[in-house]
Amino acid sequence: MSRRGAKTRPVGRLKASFEYSRAGVAREMRHKWNRLLPLDEMLGDRWKKASLLEFGRGTSIYENVYVYGKPTVGTDVWIGPLTILDATGGLEIGDGSEISCGVMIFTHSTHLRTVSKRQIDIVREPVKIGKHVYIGSGAIILPGVTVGDRSIIGAGAIVTCDISERRVAFGVPARIVGNVLGEGSSTRIVYDRIGQQR
Protein backbone atom coordinates (compact mmCIF):
# COMPACT_ATOMS: atom_id res chain seq x y z
CA MET A 1 0.00 0.00 0.00
CA SER A 2 1.27 3.47 -0.84
CA ARG A 3 1.91 6.05 1.86
CA ARG A 4 -0.80 8.22 0.33
CA GLY A 5 -3.36 5.41 0.73
CA ALA A 6 -2.37 4.92 4.39
CA LYS A 7 -2.82 8.63 5.11
CA THR A 8 -6.28 8.84 3.53
CA ARG A 9 -7.76 6.00 5.63
CA PRO A 10 -8.19 8.07 8.81
CA VAL A 11 -9.76 10.88 6.77
CA GLY A 12 -12.16 8.42 5.16
CA ARG A 13 -13.12 6.99 8.57
CA LEU A 14 -13.63 10.49 9.95
CA LYS A 15 -15.85 11.43 7.00
CA ALA A 16 -17.88 8.24 7.39
CA SER A 17 -18.31 8.89 11.12
CA PHE A 18 -19.32 12.48 10.42
CA GLU A 19 -21.93 11.43 7.84
CA TYR A 20 -23.29 8.71 10.13
CA SER A 21 -23.63 11.21 13.01
CA ARG A 22 -25.18 13.83 10.79
CA ALA A 23 -27.75 11.40 9.37
CA GLY A 24 -28.87 10.27 12.83
CA VAL A 25 -29.09 13.77 14.30
CA ALA A 26 -30.76 15.10 11.14
CA ARG A 27 -33.52 12.48 11.34
CA GLU A 28 -34.22 13.44 14.94
CA MET A 29 -34.10 17.18 14.18
CA ARG A 30 -36.45 16.86 11.19
CA HIS A 31 -38.88 14.73 13.17
CA LYS A 32 -38.90 17.01 16.22
CA TRP A 33 -38.50 20.50 14.70
CA ASN A 34 -38.93 20.03 10.91
CA ARG A 35 -35.55 21.61 10.19
CA LEU A 36 -32.03 20.67 9.17
CA LEU A 37 -29.08 22.69 10.45
CA PRO A 38 -25.29 22.36 10.29
CA LEU A 39 -24.10 19.48 12.49
CA ASP A 40 -22.58 21.69 15.20
CA GLU A 41 -25.91 23.53 15.52
CA MET A 42 -27.81 20.26 15.84
CA LEU A 43 -25.40 18.83 18.42
CA GLY A 44 -24.97 21.96 20.50
CA ASP A 45 -27.39 23.28 23.12
CA ARG A 46 -28.14 26.97 22.50
CA TRP A 47 -29.24 27.55 26.10
CA LYS A 48 -26.07 25.97 27.52
CA LYS A 49 -23.95 28.18 25.27
CA ALA A 50 -25.82 31.23 26.57
CA SER A 51 -25.20 30.05 30.12
CA LEU A 52 -21.46 29.66 29.41
CA LEU A 53 -21.48 33.28 28.20
CA GLU A 54 -23.23 34.27 31.47
CA PHE A 55 -26.33 35.50 29.64
CA GLY A 56 -29.66 35.61 31.47
CA ARG A 57 -31.88 32.62 32.25
CA GLY A 58 -33.86 31.29 29.30
CA THR A 59 -31.66 33.01 26.70
CA SER A 60 -30.49 31.05 23.65
CA ILE A 61 -27.74 31.78 21.16
CA TYR A 62 -26.86 29.84 18.02
CA GLU A 63 -23.47 28.14 17.71
CA ASN A 64 -22.41 30.24 14.70
CA VAL A 65 -22.91 33.62 16.41
CA TYR A 66 -19.68 35.60 16.75
CA VAL A 67 -19.32 37.21 20.19
CA TYR A 68 -16.55 39.74 20.83
CA GLY A 69 -16.02 41.16 24.32
CA LYS A 70 -18.47 40.47 27.12
CA PRO A 71 -22.03 41.61 26.38
CA THR A 72 -24.63 41.89 29.13
CA VAL A 73 -27.67 39.95 27.94
CA GLY A 74 -30.92 39.67 29.90
CA THR A 75 -33.39 36.83 30.36
CA ASP A 76 -35.41 35.09 27.65
CA VAL A 77 -33.46 36.68 24.78
CA TRP A 78 -33.35 34.86 21.41
CA ILE A 79 -30.20 35.43 19.34
CA GLY A 80 -30.49 34.01 15.84
CA PRO A 81 -27.88 32.40 13.59
CA LEU A 82 -25.14 34.20 11.66
CA THR A 83 -25.21 37.17 14.02
CA ILE A 84 -22.32 39.35 15.21
CA LEU A 85 -22.37 40.74 18.74
CA ASP A 86 -19.47 43.16 19.21
CA ALA A 87 -19.30 44.15 22.90
CA THR A 88 -15.74 45.53 22.85
CA GLY A 89 -17.16 49.01 23.44
CA GLY A 90 -19.97 47.86 25.74
CA LEU A 91 -23.18 46.06 24.76
CA GLU A 92 -26.38 45.54 26.71
CA ILE A 93 -29.42 43.60 25.44
CA GLY A 94 -32.56 43.72 27.58
CA ASP A 95 -34.93 40.96 28.68
CA GLY A 96 -37.21 39.38 26.11
CA SER A 97 -35.54 40.86 23.04
CA GLU A 98 -35.13 38.98 19.76
CA ILE A 99 -32.09 39.43 17.55
CA SER A 100 -32.91 37.90 14.14
CA CYS A 101 -30.51 36.05 11.87
CA GLY A 102 -27.69 37.99 10.29
CA VAL A 103 -27.95 41.01 12.60
CA MET A 104 -24.68 42.86 13.23
CA ILE A 105 -24.31 44.99 16.35
CA PHE A 106 -21.07 46.99 16.44
CA THR A 107 -19.61 48.93 19.36
CA HIS A 108 -16.31 49.77 17.72
CA SER A 109 -15.15 51.05 14.35
CA THR A 110 -11.77 51.63 12.70
CA HIS A 111 -13.06 54.11 10.09
CA LEU A 112 -11.34 57.20 11.57
CA ARG A 113 -8.17 55.27 12.32
CA THR A 114 -8.00 54.18 8.70
CA VAL A 115 -8.60 57.54 7.00
CA SER A 116 -6.39 59.42 9.49
CA LYS A 117 -3.45 57.16 8.62
CA ARG A 118 -3.64 55.79 12.18
CA GLN A 119 -3.45 59.22 13.79
CA ILE A 120 -6.86 58.64 15.42
CA ASP A 121 -7.56 55.61 17.59
CA ILE A 122 -10.37 53.06 17.24
CA VAL A 123 -13.79 54.55 18.05
CA ARG A 124 -15.57 52.65 20.84
CA GLU A 125 -19.10 53.55 21.94
CA PRO A 126 -21.59 51.38 23.85
CA VAL A 127 -24.84 50.09 22.37
CA LYS A 128 -27.94 49.52 24.45
CA ILE A 129 -30.86 47.43 23.21
CA GLY A 130 -33.87 47.81 25.50
CA LYS A 131 -36.33 45.21 26.73
CA HIS A 132 -38.64 43.34 24.34
CA VAL A 133 -36.99 44.85 21.25
CA TYR A 134 -37.29 43.06 17.90
CA ILE A 135 -34.37 43.50 15.47
CA GLY A 136 -35.12 42.15 11.99
CA SER A 137 -32.86 40.00 9.85
CA GLY A 138 -29.77 41.65 8.44
CA ALA A 139 -30.14 44.87 10.43
CA ILE A 140 -26.96 46.70 11.44
CA ILE A 141 -26.69 48.67 14.69
CA LEU A 142 -23.77 51.13 14.73
CA PRO A 143 -21.67 52.23 17.74
CA GLY A 144 -23.29 54.57 20.27
CA VAL A 145 -26.91 53.68 19.45
CA THR A 146 -29.65 53.10 22.02
CA VAL A 147 -32.84 51.31 20.98
CA GLY A 148 -35.71 51.89 23.43
CA ASP A 149 -37.93 49.24 24.97
CA ARG A 150 -40.53 47.50 22.80
CA SER A 151 -39.23 48.96 19.55
CA ILE A 152 -39.00 47.23 16.18
CA ILE A 153 -36.04 47.56 13.81
CA GLY A 154 -36.93 46.38 10.31
CA ALA A 155 -34.99 43.83 8.31
CA GLY A 156 -31.96 45.30 6.56
CA ALA A 157 -32.11 48.61 8.45
CA ILE A 158 -28.92 50.47 9.31
CA VAL A 159 -29.40 52.21 12.66
CA THR A 160 -27.14 55.24 13.00
CA CYS A 161 -28.91 57.14 15.80
CA ASP A 162 -31.05 56.46 18.87
CA ILE A 163 -34.54 55.00 18.50
CA SER A 164 -36.86 55.87 21.37
CA GLU A 165 -39.29 53.48 23.07
CA ARG A 166 -42.16 51.86 21.16
CA ARG A 167 -40.98 53.03 17.74
CA VAL A 168 -40.82 51.21 14.43
CA ALA A 169 -37.76 52.05 12.33
CA PHE A 170 -36.97 50.84 8.80
CA GLY A 171 -34.58 51.83 6.03
CA VAL A 172 -31.04 52.92 5.24
CA PRO A 173 -30.38 54.91 7.28
CA ALA A 174 -33.16 53.80 9.62
CA ARG A 175 -35.97 56.31 10.15
CA ILE A 176 -39.06 56.19 12.34
CA VAL A 177 -42.06 54.99 10.33
CA GLY A 178 -44.48 54.01 13.07
CA ASN A 179 -45.32 53.33 16.69
CA VAL A 180 -46.04 50.31 18.86
CA LEU A 181 -49.31 50.92 20.72
CA GLY A 182 -51.30 49.01 23.30
CA GLU A 183 -50.44 46.30 25.79
CA GLY A 184 -50.40 42.51 25.77
CA SER A 185 -52.76 40.92 23.26
CA SER A 186 -54.02 44.35 22.16
CA THR A 187 -50.55 45.43 20.96
CA ARG A 188 -50.56 46.81 17.42
CA ILE A 189 -48.35 48.77 15.06
CA VAL A 190 -49.54 52.05 13.56
CA TYR A 191 -47.46 53.37 10.67
CA ASP A 192 -47.06 57.15 10.46
CA ARG A 193 -46.85 57.52 6.72
CA ILE A 194 -49.42 55.06 5.48
CA GLY A 195 -51.74 54.84 8.49
CA GLN A 196 -51.82 51.08 8.25
CA GLN A 197 -52.18 48.77 11.25
CA ARG A 198 -50.66 45.30 11.62
Instruction: Give the strand order in the sheet containing 72-73.
Output: 72-73, 91-93, 127-129, 146-147
In a domain, 197, yes or no: no
Residue 191 bridge partners (DSSP): 178
Q: State how many domains the chain has.
A: 2
Same domain, 171 and 99: yes
Same domain, 25 and 57: no
pLDDT the model gives residue 197: 47
C-alpha–C-alpha distance, residues 80 and 119, integer Å = 37
In a domain, 184, yes or no: yes
Q: Dihedral angle at the C-alpha atoms of 56, 60, 63, 64, nearest 10 degrees? A: -90
Q: What's the pTM? A: 0.85
Nearest to 166 by CA among 142, 187, 186, 196: 187
Collect the ranges in the chain with pLDDT lower than 50: 1, 195-198
Cα of first residue to Cα of last residue in the chain, in angstroms, is 69
